[in-house]
Structure 1
Amino acid sequence: MASLIDMSRIPFIPGRLHATNHPYQRYGPKGFMEIKVLPRSDDLYVRVDLPGVPDDAIRYRVDAVRQKLVFFSGEETLRDGVKVEDVREYSGSAGLGCDCCEITGVDAKMKDGVLRMIVSRVKVNKDHQDNKCTHFVPPNAGRSGRYDYQRSSDERYKYDVKSFNMVGVVEEHPFVVKGRKGVVTRQRTSDGCFHFSVDMPGVCSDDMFMLPNENEIKFYGENKEVYEHDESCRIFLGAVDRTCCAYGIPLLNHDIAWDAEFGVLKVRVSPPPPNNN
């Protein structure tokens, strides 16, 4: 059955990033973490991107002393073409930033490299003035999308406002305590194969696509099954250029294999075997 890709929602803004936590994200909620107060229950919804971590490998606990924070951690699996020292371990926390509430329970689910938690709470300080508490930590979650200004190097335009270019600065994952902090890996192994991986948190393998041509390998991913408390789906779009080729061999003559697991797309580009004839 053929699959259709709807490209109409993907904005194209040259030189800018949609979300500075991911260079290939083109649409959807930004940031490595999202925290918001649910309107009806007053519980907290927490989304944390932990790409590479298996669905059953997440650990979490509530601070037993103050009942304010939920601590979470996990470790991704070792994959072909990834160095042992690049395997990521995550550790972080989220929860209440007030003195009037306490956490009473956590409902956590891990799927496709995304941890989603419903944090239940109860007000213990009845004298607090706020009827609906909105204090949580970290306070700036989900606001990724900043830009740095870069002045033109041409002296003729250094005082012109138009000479400033907005340059996206890709942020490192704040919850990585071991291993790489970037969302992309590139490595050429001793057998001549090129390994490439890119994080697509929340996207399952059925919703990732590879589109190779003579000049590049394009990839596309979309989490079509949007969780009920997520703002919208997320769309990722990018490409690997011809540097993945073996010297002197056209790109389409290579064996291009790919797989996806726990929100990580893995691509292997292998040169053809030598022709003994």
Structure 2
Amino acid sequence: MAMAVPLSTPPQSPAEGFYAINNQFLTSGPKGFTEFKMLVNEDMFVRMDLPGVPEEGVRVFLDRSKKAVIVYAEAPKVHTHDSTDRTYLTITGLICKCCEISNITTHMSDGVLRLLLSKSPIDPHRSSCIDLRGTGPHRFPHGTDPNDPALTGPVLQPHPMAFPLTTMAYESKQLPDGKLYVRVDMPGVPSDNLTVSVTNGRVKVTGEAPAVGHDSSGRFYSGDVAMLSTPVDIPSHRIETIAKNGVIRLVIPPF
């Protein structure tokens, strides 16, 4: 009988490390837990990966200063073997002194929150301080550039907005009946846009997240998540698969 055991995903490049330190399964597309972009119409676009959060599970509040928005989201336990539910909390907004947020548009799907923050000058007689080059008052903090070289490296990072703080993109649990439970975060991947395969005893998950709204581009995820004790090919339909809100859960039985 072939038993399934956890399998850590090695870096795509042994020399440089993981393509994206926020998710070991991401192989192409924007990196980082967040992405910021200033639009030509002076709106600010923000993408936040909140895997496991349903559409109704996120709340966005405008701070009294009108300079920042507070994001609170809850990702409930979907499967009995999830180690815990997850809560996300973060603050984002403007860092200049001349503008304030005048409107917020939100879109939550497949474990990704997208915000459009409209801004207006505090003094109506003064123009906005928009700087599309990202070098002025509206420049973004380190790590929000989806092509930042610092987002590639040998050490994976836990989700900075999630509680518990040790939340990673991969979780596995060996069950008493011999099955293996696996949770894989692939934010942005619709439930009908992923595949699970077993080849030579290696269980592989692949998913594609299309570009939505002002995303820089789509994202592609791929990686081995478990290995059988015998190198055999198994029909994937024998693996229980639950794909919901940017999270893929597998229950792999002995074969």
For this structure pair, what is the TM-score category when the shorter chain's length is used for normalisation?
A: 0.7 to 0.9
1: distance between equivalents of 2:217 and 2:182?
27
TM-score when normalising by structure 1: 0.76
Q: Deviations over 1:35-88 (max 9, x none)?
A: 11101x101001000000001110110001x1111100111121225345x321
Matched, 1:22 2:26: no
Deviates more, 1:172-181 or 1:252-261: 252-261
Deviates more, 1:169-178 or 1:230-239: 169-178
The Cα of 1:250 is off from its aligned counterpart by 5.9
Residue 223 of structure 2: which of 238, 244, 252 is its match? 238
- What are the equivalent positions in structure 2 for 1:104-183 lying under 5 Å apart? 104-125=102-123, 131-133=129-131, 135-136=137-138, 139-140=141-142, 141-143=144-146, 145-146=149-150, 168-178=154-164, 180-183=166-169
* Paired AA for residue 150 in structure 2: R
2:73 paired residue number: 74
TM-score when normalising by structure 2: 0.83
When residues 136 and 186 of structure 1 are mapped into structure 2, their CA distance, relative to the original with a 3 A threshold, is: farther
* Paired AA for residue 42 in structure 1: E
2:253 paired residue number: 270
2: distance between equivalents of 1:132 and 1:109?
24
When residues 107 and 76 of structure 1 are mapped into structure 2, their CA distance, relative to the original with a 3 A threshold, is: same
* Paired AA for residue 269 in structure 1: I
Aligned with 1:75: secondary structure?
strand
1:81 touches 1:189 (CA, 8 Å); kept in 2? Answer: no
2: distance between equivalents of 1:267 and 1:208?
13
Identity of counterpart residues, as a percentage?
29
Deviates more, 1:259-268 or 1:123-132: 123-132
Instruction: Flag the structure with larger Rg.
Output: 1
2: distance between equivalents of 1:124 and 1:248?
66
2:19 touches 2:28 (CA, 8 Å); kept in 1? Answer: yes
The Cα of 1:93 is off from its aligned counterpart by 1.1
1:94 touches 1:138 (CA, 8 Å); kept in 2? Answer: no
1:50 touches 1:201 (CA, 8 Å); kept in 2? Answer: yes
1:19 touches 1:145 (CA, 8 Å); kept in 2? Answer: no
The Cα of 1:264 is off from its aligned counterpart by 0.5
Aligned with 2:192: secondary structure?
helix
The Cα of 1:180 is off from its aligned counterpart by 4.1
2: distance between equivalents of 1:46 and 1:147?
17
Aligned with 1:252: secondary structure?
coil
Matched, 1:228 2:213: yes
1:59 paired residue number: 59
Higher relative contact order (CA 8 A, sep 6+): 2
Q: Deviations over 1:179-213 (max 9, x none)?
A: 64200000012222101111111110111111112
When residues 135 and 14 of structure 1 are mapped into structure 2, their CA distance, relative to the original with a 3 A threshold, is: same
Matched, 1:42 2:42: yes
Q: Deviations over 1:250-272 (max 9, x none)?
A: 67399422121000111110125
Q: CA RMSD in A?
A: 2.6
- Size of the alignment, in residue pairs? 236
| Unaligned runs of at least 5 residues, structure 1 | 1-11, 149-166, 273-277
Aligned with 1:73: secondary structure?
strand
